Amino acid sequence: MNENLDPKNREILLLNPNLGHPIILNIDSKFSQENFSIDMLFATQIAELEKFTEIIQHKISIIPILEYTWKIQSLLAKENKAWLLTLFGKKKVSLWDKIKGFFLKKKRERIKQELLKNPLEFIDSQGNKFYFPEKGKFQKVKARAFRTSEIDPIISNVESVNICDLDSLEYDNYCSPRNYLVKQDILGALNVFYKVQIKFDINNEIKEFLESHNFIMFDLKVHFINNESKINYHSIVISKNSWNDLKIVQASDLHLAERNDRIYEIVKNWTSLVRKSEIGEIISEGVKTISFFQRLFSTKTKKASTERSITPLHKRYINPNNNFRKFIKLMNKRVLANDLDFVVLTGDLIDFAILSKIPKDVRKVVDFEYERSNWRVFKEILLNFPQEKKRGMIRGEEVLFPIFTIPGNHEYRPFHYDIRWGGLYRKIGLNGNEALALNDELMANPISSITKTFRAMKAYLTEINSSLDFFLKLGKNNLIFLNTGSDSFKRIMDFVSGHPSVTGLSNKQIKYLEHLVNKNFGKEDLNLLFLHGPPINPKHTISIFKRIDLPKHKDEILTKIDEYMESRVLMLGKKRSAARIDGKFDVKYGVVSSNWEKLIYFCKNHCILTLCGHTHQLKEFKLGDPSEGASENLQNSPFPIEKIENPAAIYYDLYSEMYTSAKEIEENGPFIVQTPALGLGSYFNPKLSGAYREIEIKDGKLVSFKVKTIKK
């Protein structure tokens, strides 16, 4: 079975729902509903609807995902009943038998201990082996997905669908194929699309699982004629949540790559083989190989190369892959405690698509295929597929929670870059000598490393999520997910300094927001916007050109962003308007380039909270009325967005810590927040990695959006 055939070699491909864009269904707490239906989007070469319908019949199955420890407890409970029947030799146990059974408790316990002493093997529906834990080790059993018997759905309807782009009123978040799938040749010859509706029933085991869990996930499996199959993992979710209360975790900037797991071993081997007397010679030779482009994007390599660190490598090296593995384990614990609904990953999921050291002739054949790309690494970590073990790698777990994904600017980067550029090696805990040691194994092409291409996302669109922009309505909660695009070279100095701006929102995306406000948003709704590129990102100091307007008295001159924190200004007895940073700072440093004013206007008037990443820093902003310096209530009037030169007053502080109640948040919002990176630290604080943000909604109100970190 090959689950990852290239689209060019497939006859049929299931696009949606998928791993990064699952569909959520609701069930009441009494489980009175047993029948469910979903719509799926297929791409194929087959132009005849009847032929496609005939081929797809009986080729779809749904795989329920239980949890290993729950399954063990369920089996043990059934075994206990079986032991009673074995002891008394009867099909039913009478009251008198139960009384006698009480006195045979020791015998039953001895049988049970024998069973646990010699663990029994059992296998799930996908052939994965599981074992009963040994005596005394049940509490140490790790969370693991157990896939139970497959469900065969009924196909109730099949209809052809045409390309329907984002700005159309007919756009469907799951079943409207986007133009880029064909225009960018993502699917090869698969240029015919069908919407397939299926119906399925849930069994008693699923209901039993839901009695103690808030949701259950399902894989969607499509069987092919040649005995191949394709699985869209975790693509269906049935939840008991009424969505008045909601717990979401946002993580950003994972920067996963296969080379992350190789770096520790390469550096460790280098330091053990090379004598200290030889290091200087190697460094001088390595510096000679630095090209013009590498010098352009690098800091003082020679100075960095003389650094010495007394801290052992295993305590310094920050492996973004390991950070994500730790994050998954932490979130799985929350799922088992019914303390998480889903996770949103807001871009820079991978660091780049493939290594640029692949020979040019091979590179043309590879064409960003899944198996050669870091999208394979991303998916393998998510699902805990077997990976080649390397020194420094930690064990992982399969995610037991739904995820929603959007791309970042790194998703468009086709090939890897040199970690010496801009001193990036410091962000992963290496020194200059160790960065040079990676050259032989992982030397980057200086030209291809700064290019960008949409095709770098080919495997993402076929294996993870084919929807770059989408919308999710859960009760009165509206969640909007937008792609902010690739690196933008409009502000080349931002790019050179390591803080690239992103292309921003297209006119189609702005039109999509208009349709959402006018068609889907209610007056009492709570709206959250998820992006990768930040709408606001001020520099740390006021530019020399803007200092002209500042007070001349030296005691009143404030030039650093932290000096304008709203709480600090108010504490000094100044007016709130004195804390405004727009007009004083360059707030467009490495932000969305296109339609900036319209995006700020949307955030101010229609979203209580906008969440992004990209900068690897913790920054939080409040939006207010540009004419008065006071925030307005969110509006839900008809929404044509026009360009506004000054769409909002902007304030800066750590608002997630300041406001700790729904009332405070509602009165002082809306907010735009940057979440530090999960994978890497920032230039200003390299150790600030492993961060994520918790968003909690209670009784339909936002009550918390604090940042936390994983334990290192």
Condensed to tens digits (0 to 9), the pLDDT of residues 242-264 reads 999 999 999 999 999 999 999 98
Query: Which stretches does DSSP call E strand in 566-710?
Result: 592-594, 609-612, 619-624, 649-652, 671-674, 691-698, 701-704, 707-709
Pick the residue with more confidence: 194 or 293? 194
Please report the DSSP string for 370-431 in residue order: GGGSHHHHHHHHHHT------TTPPP-----S-EEEE--GGGG--B---TTBTTGGGGGT--
Lowest mean pLDDT among 93-107, 480-494, 512-526: 93-107
For the cut 60, the answer to whether the pLDDT of residue 709 exceeds it is: yes
Angle 105-117/68-88 helices, nearest 10 degrees? 130
From the list 253, 235, 231, the residue with the least C-alpha distance to 399 is 235
Q: Are 18 and 232 in contact (CB under 8 A)?
A: yes
630 pLDDT band (50/70/90 cuts)?
A: very low
For residue 487, report the phi and psi dihedrals to the nearest 5 degrees: -60, 140
Tell me the β-bridge partners of 403: 343
Torsion angles phi and psi, residue 588, rounded to 5: -110, 35
Distance CA 295, CA 423 (A): 11
Distance CA 143, CA 399 (A): 9
Question: pLDDT value at position 301?
Answer: 43
For residues 642 and 706, the model is more confident at 706
Mean confidence (pLDDT) of the chain: 83
pLDDT at 343 over 90: yes
What pLDDT was estimated at residue 85? Answer: 45
547 or 250: which leads in pLDDT: 250
Residue with tokens 């900068």: 615
Task: Supply the Cα-derived Rg of the chain in whole angstroms.
Answer: 28
User: Residue written as tokens 């090959």?
Assistant: 2
What integer pLDDT is reported at residue 500 of this predicted model? 76
- CA–CA dist 270, 431 (Å, integer): 13
**CB neighbours of 215 closer than 8 A, spacing ≥ 6?**
237, 238, 239, 240, 241, 341, 402
- Residue 497 corresponds to which tokens in the numbers above? 């300094």
Identify the bridge partners of residue 63 per DSSP, sorted by sequence position: 219
Structural element, H or E, at residue 145: strand 145-147
Question: Which DSSP string corresponds to 167-178?
Answer: TSTT--TTT---
- Nearest residue to 532 via CA among 415, 606, 621, 610: 610
Residues 6+ positions from 335 with CB-CB distance below 8 Å: 143, 213, 400, 401
> What's the rounded mean pLDDT across residues 660-681?
94
Q: Read off the pTM.
A: 0.87
Residue 326 has pLDDT above 50, yes or no: yes
Cβ partners under 8 Å of residue 628, min gap 6: 649
d(CA 636, CA 634): 7
Token representation of residue 221: 């499996």
Higher-pLDDT residue of 20, 144: 20
pLDDT band at 632 (very low <50, low <70, confident <90, very high): very low
User: Minimum mean pLDDT among 65-69, 262-266, 289-293: which range?
Assistant: 289-293
The domain spans of the chain are 7-58+152-240, 68-146, 320-537+587-709
- Taking 70 as the threshold, does the pLDDT of residue 356 lie above it? no
Q: Which of 527, 538, 416, 415 is nearest to 482 (CA)?
A: 527
Residues 96-122 have a mean pLDDT of 61
Question: What is d(CA 158, CA 355) in angstroms, rounded to the nearest whole number?
Answer: 41
Q: Which of 624, 535, 542 is nearest to 585 (CA)?
A: 542
* Least trusted range by pLDDT, from 27-36, 42-51, 81-90, 217-226: 81-90
Residue 628 is predicted with a pLDDT of 60
Residue 231, classed as helix, strand or coil, is strand
> How do residues 115-156 score in pLDDT, each as one tens digit?
555 556 778 888 887 776 665 565 667 778 999 999 999 999
No. of helices (H) and no. of strands (E), the chain: 23, 27
% of the chain surpassing 90 pLDDT: 54
What's the pLDDT band for 347 if we cut at 50, 70, 90?
Answer: very high
**580 CB contacts (<8 Å, ≥6 apart)?**
564, 629, 649, 650, 651
Residue 663 has what pLDDT? 96
Could you report the per-residue pLDDT of 367-413, keeping only the tens digit for each? 788 888 999 999 999 999 988 888 889 999 999 999 999 999 999 99
The pLDDT value given to residue 359:
61
Q: What are phi and psi of 703, to 5 degrees?
A: -115, -15
308 pLDDT above the threshold of 50: no
Burial of residue 523 (number of CB atoms within 10 Å: 0-12, 13-18, 19+): exposed
Cα-Cα-Cα-Cα dihedral sign, residues 614, 616, 618, 619: negative
**β partners of residue 610:** 529, 672
- Which neighbouring-strand residues pair with 582? 585
Pick the CATH number of 320-537+587-709 from 3.30.160, 1.10.3470, 3.60.21, 3.40.50: 3.60.21
Task: Indicate whether 203 pLDDT > 90.
Answer: yes
pLDDT reading at 644 higher than 60 = no
Give the model confidence (pLDDT) of 578-594 as tens digits: 899 988 888 888 889 89
Q: Which residue has the higher pLDDT, 541 or 364?
A: 541
Nearest to 466 by CA among 20, 25, 162: 20
